[in-house]
Amino acid sequence: MDTLLADRIVLVVGGTSGVGAGVARAAVREGGTVVVAGRHRERAEAVAADLGERASAVVGDIADPQQAKDLVAATIERHGRIDCLVNCAGLTDRGTLLATDPELFDRHIAANLRGPFFTMQAAVADMVGRGEPGTVLNISSISSRGGQPYLAPYVAAKAGLNGLTKNAAHAHRFDRVRINALNIGWTETEGEDATQRRFHDAGGDWVERARERLPMGTLGQVEQIADAVVLLISARSGVVTGSVIDWDQQVIGGQD
C-alpha cells in the first residue's frame, strides 16, 4: 500500500517536541523524508536520530526572520527541494490586554506570525520557482476565534496567522500550492504540562482534572493531530486549500 508522503520532502518547524515531534514521526511513518527544525541542536538531532535514516535536523530560531528563511534554505540545499512545510513552532506565554507590554506582544508576533510568514515565503518561492505543487500546514489555535482573557497577544498573532493562511492560499492556488491551517484545542503535551504548572499553579493531577471537564473525557492527543496534519499535506486531501479547520471538542458559537 502506498504511503501518504512517499517521495515528499517535509520540513517540520518546531519539530523537537509536542505536536511538532508527533508530526515528524507521522510523516516518516507515511514515507516522507523529514527535516526536524528547532532552536536547540541537541533536541533536534535527538528527534531526527530516533526517526531513522529518513530524518535529519536543522537548527534555527523562527522568531528571527533570516533564521526562519534559512531553515527552508537548509532543507533545499540538503534535498534539492521542499514539498511540504509544517509550521508547529509557537509561543504560549500568558498576557491579558491590560497586562501585556510591548516586549511580550512582539515576542508573540515574532514566533507565532512573523516566523511562519517567512518560512512560508521561502518554501512557496521554491515550489513556484520549480513549477511544482506543494503544501503548507500552519498549526494555529482554537483560541484564535476569541480565546481566553490571558491569551490576548497569542490570540492576536494566531488570528493573524489564519488570515495569512487564507491570503497566501488564494494568491498561490493557480500555482497548485495548497495552504491550510489547523485550529487545535487543548492538547496534552509536555509543553502544556510546563505551561499549566508555570502560569496556573497546576498540580500533578491537572490532566485528570481537565479530563473531567471536557466533553470527550480527554484532552487532544498529539498522535491524532499528527494524523490530521499528514492528511492535509498529502495528496489524499485533494484540492483543499485556504481552509482553517477547527480541531477541537468545543463548538465555537454553541451555547447551552
Residue 256 is assigned to a structural domain of this protein = no
Give the domain CATH number at 238.
3.40.50.720
Residue 117 lies in a domain: yes
Q: Which domain holds residue 41?
A: 9-246
Of residues 22, 122, 154, 184, which has the active-site annotation?
A: 154
Residue 138 identity: N
Number of structural domains (the chain) is 1
Known active-site residue 154: yes
| CB neighbour list of residue 179: distance below 8 Å, 6 or more residues apart | 120, 124, 135, 136, 137, 138, 165, 168, 169, 172, 241, 242
Q: Cell 500552519: give the residue.
A: 138
Q: Is residue 224 part of a domain?
A: yes
Q: Can you give the pLDDT of all 256 residues of the chain as single tens digits?
A: 469 999 999 999 999 999 999 999 999 999 999 999 999 999 999 999 999 999 999 999 999 999 999 999 999 999 999 999 999 998 999 999 999 999 999 999 999 999 999 999 999 999 999 999 999 999 999 999 999 999 999 999 999 999 999 999 999 999 999 999 999 988 887 877 788 788 887 888 888 888 988 899 998 899 999 999 999 999 999 999 999 999 999 999 898 8
Query: What's the whole-model pTM score?
Result: 0.94
